[in-house]
Amino acid sequence: DRQVMSDLDSAVAFAAAHQGDQNRLGVIGFCRGGRNTWLYDAHNPRLKAAVSFYGAIQSPTSAIQPQSLLDVAAEIHAPMLTLNGRKDGASKVDYLEAVAAKARAAGKVVEVVLYDDAGHGFHADYRPSYVQADAIDGWNRAMAWFKKYGVA
């Protein structure tokens, strides 16, 4: 996790050095990147919006992953949109709801969207788990989220 946060910080610094607008900073991630989106939201106070697609949100902690999403939920800075399939074994709905509830209890903005017929990877059009209608809806929601919070 520490390496990923450092890499994302470096990407932000690189963008800023090349005419990137740090006042419109957003983050989006899919699968492991969905989990990292939550972590980076807690890490970087300059984020304006974050979107997590079906992250592997309930991972055991370890030396390289010392915190769970439940540990950092109350520390996120930017509004978080999370898009998940109810049939996703990697994104347990009850855990996701607990993470969102903890963030909301701390005054954070979190919107959880659950697609009833989708599983993990529903946005990946190269996988059998792809669900076109949910992928299109999710992408449209993500772009609207970024626009709403001044990223797009």
Q: Which residues are catalytic?
A: 31, 88, 120
Concatenate the DSSP letters of all residues of 39-97 into one string: HHHHH-TT--EEEEES--------SSS---HHHHGGG--S-EEEEEETT-TTS-HHHHH
Looking at residue 111, what DSSP letter applies?
A: E
> Is the distance from CB of 122 to CB of 30 less than 8 angstroms?
no
Question: Who contacts 27 (Cβ-Cβ below 8 Å, separation ≥6)?
Answer: 8, 37, 40, 41, 44, 47, 49, 50, 51, 78
